[in-house]
Structure 1
Amino acid sequence: MSDLDNQLSLPAKGRPVYERKAVKPASLKALRLRENVLAYAFLAPSLLIFAVFLFYPMLKSVYLSLHATDPTGQIAGYVGLDNFTSLFKSGVFLQGIKVTALFALLTVPTGMLLALLLAAMTHTKLRGMRFFQFAFSLPMVLSVGSSAVIWKFLFHPTLGMFNYLLSKIGVDPIPWLTSPDWALLSISLMTVWMNLGFNYIILSSGLQGIPDEIYESAKMDGAGPMVTFWRISMPMLSPTLFFVLVVSIISAFQSFGQINIMTGGGPVNSTNVFVYSIYQEAFVNFRFGTGSAQALVLFAVILLLTIIQFKWVERKVHYQ
């Protein structure tokens, strides 16, 4: 009993007692379990969609690639890796790999350079730039089918606008889609235009994300437009360029719609790319085994190219 209690003469029962009530904390494992259950409950619709439209078709492709099918598409027997062996012995399949690689080389660098040039040209505050930004983004709103039909008319040997303009300057008509020498180049030209809207929007957004203070500091230090672009804009735009590069390569290896509508893989298999070869094998010839094997090879090629880009190309990316 303290002196203060003696002076105040407080009764023992009337003294305030401050005791901390023992609260049983929830178990850490129970909290984590509750959070995981809640997270998976929110993810359940997306996981269900992925399971139905992604995981199940992939597992089905693996299963079909190990079997032979009859003309109706039914499983005829187990063949192991024979479907893959016959693919790499097939001249048409190897030609398809070559055509797909050439198609990617024609479309990816050209599309990125053109979109970067247009984005840099319209990255100013001059009047009328909004109109050009809107015009350069227009190809994105058109579907692959609509774009292919429009360009097929433009490439028409007698009624097409391109040959009409060439005739006005004294150039002979070009067999855009009917010659093996011109067909792939024509498809590539159309694909570059079709992907221009997406590439332009992404790169233009990346340029707008660079702070203006950096440009002002460079201008005060006497840096010209070209030096500013190469020393400031390009390094700070490298994450956006890397993203566009990865997406463009994947898109090039998955191109199908424009080729199916404009050339049908011809002439003489000059535009018979990877995905169109899979379509022909599986849904025209009804050989689902070899078609699934080709699809798995395509998946492996895209995965390998993506890993290479993230392992070596990403080293050149400058993250802020």
Structure 2
Amino acid sequence: MDTTIAIRPVRLKPRLPALLEGWGPALVFLAPALVMLCLFKLWLIAEAVYTSTGTFDPGGQRIGNAGLDNFGFALSDSRFQWGLWLSLFAAVAKVPVQLALGLAAALMLRANTGGNAVVRAMVISPMFFGLPVTTFIFAYMFDANVGAVNAILSGIGLPRVAWLSTEAPAQMLVLGLSIWRDVGVTMLVFLAGLSAIPPQIANAAKLDGAGPFALFFTITLPLLARSFQFAVVLATLASFQILVPVLMLTKGGPTGATDLASFQIYETAFSYFDLGTASAMSLALLFGLIVIIALELRWLAVKWTYE
């Protein structure tokens, strides 16, 4: 009598050293960045969590525990609620414009058309000048009395505009300055994405009779999906961190039109010296950003790869 017993092979879970096999060189190169991340990002977040649970004197010394009271005060404050909605509006208005301008600049540089030097100078220069210098230039250009923009408007017979003391122009100015500062980074992201597209794909489409528009919308744009995902996340992060233009140009005005959450956090910490509430506001903004970026990553998820 044949008694054969079938034994199913047991799959052993790989141990940690086996999982890390081959990652040694990568971890060595990543170590400095990981150390910097822990020191300047994760540690600061942990410090903000601790600070948000305390009360402080004007000198920054912790004098008591507040528990979650700082969060309750911040989230119930109508001004901070307005600042969060205003920051969301700034992101919705800024991100599409910044993506469009960055992609257009990248395509122009990639195509090596005329005027590349001008485009490169206009897009890259704010990254080298620094935001305070760029903001000072904007403040002079759009000054209601001696600004170059109003001088041009007067020269062609149009009325002067009070750019910094009228709600809509002030919002446009702050967003425009922020877009000008960040569009260079977006352009570099798209340039990297364009250089990663295999030229054989475009050449095959041209042989099939695809014109420039068909080539862009059916080949180039879909293959830039990963670049779009990365650019959207970067632009969203920058949109919620707009501070210097508001601080130097409008101080949150006129009538709260530029009273962004980032400016309120700065003002609460360094004008009112309420470090606990400012930390709670920062963490609330951080949590909102995490939710928004998670939704963006899910919406823009890329499920293809080059073969």
TM tier, smaller: 0.7 to 0.9
Give the Cα–Cα distance (whole angstroms) in 2 for the partners of residues 258 and 147 of structure 1.
Answer: 9
**Normalising to structure 1: TM-score of the pair?**
0.81
Give the Cα–Cα distance (whole angstroms) in 2 for the partners of residues 211 and 34 of structure 1.
Answer: 31
Which segment drifts farther, 49-58 or 146-155?
Answer: 49-58
Query: Computing the radius of gyration over CA atoms, which structure comes out larger, 1 or 2?
Result: 1
Counterpart pick for 1:282 among 259, 269, 281: 269
Deviation, structure 1 residue 293? 0.2
Report the 3-state secondary structure (helix = DSSP H, G, I; strand = E; otherwise coil) of the residue aligned with 1:61.
Answer: helix
Give the Cα–Cα distance (whole angstroms) in 2 for the partners of residues 250 and 80 of structure 1.
Answer: 28
Give the Cα–Cα distance (whole angstroms) in 1 for the partners of residues 46 and 234 of structure 2.
Answer: 24
Give the Cα–Cα distance (whole angstroms) in 1 for the partners of residues 221 and 21 of structure 2.
Answer: 46
Give the Cα–Cα distance (whole angstroms) in 2 for the partners of residues 291 and 48 of structure 1.
Answer: 26
Deviation, structure 1 residue 268? 2.2
Deviation, structure 1 residue 32? 9.3
Asked if 2 retains the 8 angstrom alpha-carbon contact of 1:206 and 1:237, the reply is yes
Identity of aligned residues (%): 29
Structure 1 residues 238 and 68, CA, compared in 2 at 3 Å: closer, same or farther? same
Q: Which runs of 5+ in 1 are unaligned?
A: 1-27
Give the Cα–Cα distance (whole angstroms) in 1 for the partners of residues 22 and 199 of structure 2.
Answer: 42
In structure 2, what residue type is equivalent to 1:279? Answer: Y
Give the Cα–Cα distance (whole angstroms) in 1 for the partners of residues 242 and 258 of structure 2.
Answer: 11
Alignment coverage as a number of residue pairs: 291
Is 2:129 the counterpart of 1:142? yes
In structure 1, what residue type is equivalent to 2:279? Answer: S
Is 2:207 the counterpart of 1:216? no
Counterpart pick for 1:175 among 162, 169, 172: 162
Give the Cα–Cα distance (whole angstroms) in 2 for the partners of residues 39 and 213 of structure 1.
Answer: 31
Is 2:221 the counterpart of 1:240? no
Q: Report the equivalent of 1:266.
A: 253
Is 2:66 the counterpart of 1:91? no
Report the 3-state secondary structure (helix = DSSP H, G, I; strand = E; otherwise coil) of the residue aligned with 1:181.
Answer: helix
In structure 1, what residue type is equivalent to 2:117? Answer: F
Deviation, structure 1 residue 278? 0.9
Deviation, structure 1 residue 46? 4.8
Report the 3-state secondary structure (helix = DSSP H, G, I; strand = E; otherwise coil) of the residue aligned with 1:123.
Answer: helix
Deviation, structure 1 residue 37? 9.8
Asked if 1 retains the 8 angstrom alpha-carbon contact of 2:55 and 2:62, the reply is yes
Is 2:271 the counterpart of 1:309? no
Per-residue CA distance 1:241-288 (angstroms, 9 max, x = gap): 111001110111112122211222222222121221111111110111
Which ranges of 4 or more aligned residues in structure 1 deviate by more than 6 Å? 28-44
Q: Considering only aligned residues, what root-mean-square deviation do their CA atoms show, in Å?
A: 2.8
Q: Report the equivalent of 1:184.
A: 171
In structure 1, what residue type is equivalent to 2:225? Answer: S
Structure 1 residues 169 and 56, CA, compared in 2 at 3 Å: closer, same or farther? same
Superposed, which structure 2 residues align to 1:7-156 within 5 Å? 46-126=33-113, 128=114, 130-132=116-118, 134-135=120-121, 136-156=123-143
Q: Which runs of 5+ in 2 are unaligned?
A: 1-14
Asked if 1 retains the 8 angstrom alpha-carbon contact of 2:225 and 2:300, the reply is no
